[in-house]
């Protein structure tokens, strides 16, 4: 199985709405060693002008993950998960994620490249809030290692 | 933050990782790939040991910048390349050594690009690790 180059430009349907929970944000913040009061303390977040706790920057991966699952489940894409290595990751924010947000994510494959038998797949997941406003775009480059017989 | 100069070190931090850290991150993120907590599975796919989630390394490293910049909401853009895995020993764990330096200033946009150097066991584990933060009030 090899990565299908025709997936370049392909978009997947928006994911089901993800409701960002206060305790999930706090749990994630503790897991990444955050000491940031706006992520951990609702009072501090409100004092800083936010409705509730603010997610650490990489929390967006939790929402993005649902879109990557769509891509990996697409048999036509030909991405063998057991050969996938995470190459690059990027988050570009319009605004931070805040507890209470209802987010949906839409993945588009923006690049498929071959390099010495390996494939590099770049996937951009645009994350929007319930009002349809852009929050953050999460971009992953997945390196799909060549199968032995393809080398 | 008006006195920033390119090359200036704005934060340094050492983050100790243990297997507990990996289990905690697995639960918090929903990434339950067993290479991050099972030695037998890690060995069966040819890895030198149980690895930290790349996203844990990315997420923990940026906290030094978050604290310096005045909170998570200050981060506009954050990117990394995963260049080397972080092996987490079951007894002694691993350490992430993070250095954050000013890489570029954009006074018009009111932002600074902070470049992270992240090392573990003497080797760089993230490449092109760049955080764009809002520096204007």
Structure letter (DSSP) for residue B34: G
Query: Is there a contact between B5 and B136 (Cβ–Cβ < 8 Å)?
Result: no
Domain ranges of chain B: 9-17+57-134
pLDDT tens string, chain B, 137 residues long: the values are: 558 999 999 999 999 999 999 999 999 999 999 999 999 999 998 899 999 999 999 999 999 999 999 999 999 999 999 999 999 999 999 999 999 999 999 999 999 999 999 999 999 999 999 999 999 86
CB contact under 8 A, A58 and B28: no
The answer to whether residue A87 sits within a structural domain is yes
In three-state secondary structure terms, A77 is helix
Phi and psi, residue A115, nearest 5°: -145, 100
Amino acid B1: pLDDT: 53
CB contact under 8 A, A36 and B24: no
The answer to whether residue A31 sits within a structural domain is no
Residue B105, class by beta-carbon neighbours within 10 Å (0-12 exposed, 13-18 middle, 19+ buried)?
middle
Angstrom distances, CA of residue B132 to CA of A137, A148, B65, B117? 14, 40, 10, 15
**Among candidates B21, B30, B72 on the partner chain, residue whose Cβ is nearest the Cβ of A65:** B30
State the pairing for strand pair A118-128/A102-115. antiparallel
Q: What is the pTM of this model?
A: 0.95
Going by C-beta distance under 8 Å and a sequence separation of 6 or more, which residues neighbour residue B107?
none
Q: What is the Cα–Cα distance from B124 to B44, expressed in whole angstroms?
A: 25
Q: Which CATH class is domain B9-17+57-134?
A: alpha beta
For residue A123, give its domain range.
5-21+54-150
The domain tally of chain A equals: 1
Whether residue A67 is predicted with pLDDT greater than 70 in this model: the reply is yes
CB contact under 8 A, A35 and B63: yes
For residues A8-33, give the mean pLDDT: 97
The answer to whether residue A91 sits within a structural domain is yes
Q: Which two tokens stand for residue A109?
A: 């494959």
| pLDDT confidence tier of residue A151, bands split at 50, 70 and 90 | very low
Over the range A15-39, which residues count as b (16 or more CB within 10 Å of their CB) and which as e?
A: beebebeeebbbebbbbbbbebbbb
Nearest CA in chain A to B21: A31
Q: Is B24 on the interface with A (CB under 8 A)?
A: yes
The answer to whether residue A44 sits within a structural domain is no
Domain with A85 in it: what CATH number? 3.10.129.10
Amino acid B3: pLDDT: 83
Whether residue A150 is predicted with pLDDT greater than 50 in this model: the reply is no
The conformational region for residue A77 under phi > 0 = left, psi -120 to 50 = alpha, else beta, is alpha
Sign of the dihedral defined by the CA atoms of residues A52, A55, A60, A65, in that order: negative
The answer to whether residue A93 sits within a structural domain is yes
CB contact under 8 A, B56 and A86: no
Angstrom distances, CA of residue A146 to CA of A17, A91, B115? 35, 27, 32
The answer to whether residue A86 sits within a structural domain is yes
Q: What is the Cα–Cα distance from B133 to B110, expressed in whole angstroms?
A: 9
């Amino acid at each position: 199985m090899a990565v299908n180059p025709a997936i370049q430009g392909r978009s997947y349907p928006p994911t089901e709405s993800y409701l960002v929970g206060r305790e999930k944000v706090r749990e994630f913040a503790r897991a990444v060693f955050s000491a940031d009061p706006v992520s951990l303390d609702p009072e501090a977040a409100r004092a800083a002008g936010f409705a509730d706790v603010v997610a650490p920057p990489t929390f967006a991966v939790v929402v993005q993950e649902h879109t990557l699952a769509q891509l990996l489940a697409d048999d036509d894409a030909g991405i063998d998960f057991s050969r996938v290595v995470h190459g690059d990751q990027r988050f570009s924010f319009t605004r931070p994620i805040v507890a209470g947000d209802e987010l949906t994510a839409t993945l588009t494959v923006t690049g498929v490249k071959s390099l010495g038998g390996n494939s590099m797949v770049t996937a951009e997941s645009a994350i929007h809030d319930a009002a349809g406003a852009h929050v953050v775009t999460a971009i992953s480059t997945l390196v799909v290692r060549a199968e032995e017989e393809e080398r | 933050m008006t006195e920033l100069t390119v090359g200036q070190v704005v934060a340094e931090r050492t983050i100790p990782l243990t297997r507990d850290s990996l289990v905690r991150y697995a639960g918090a993120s929903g990434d339950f790939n067993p290479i991050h907590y099972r030695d037998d599975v890690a060995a069966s796919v040819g890895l030198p040991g149980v690895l930290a989630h790349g996203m844990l390394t990315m997420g923990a490293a940026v906290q030094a910048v978050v604290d310096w910049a005045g909170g998570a909401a200050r981060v506009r853009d954050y990117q990394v390349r995963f260049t080397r895995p972080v092996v987490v020993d079951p007894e002694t764990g691993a350490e992430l050594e993070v250095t954050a330096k000013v890489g570029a200033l954009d006074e018009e946009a009111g932002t600074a690009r902070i470049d992270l150097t992240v090392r573990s066991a003497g080797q760089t584990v993230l490449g092109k690790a760049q955080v764009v933060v809002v520096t204007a009030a």
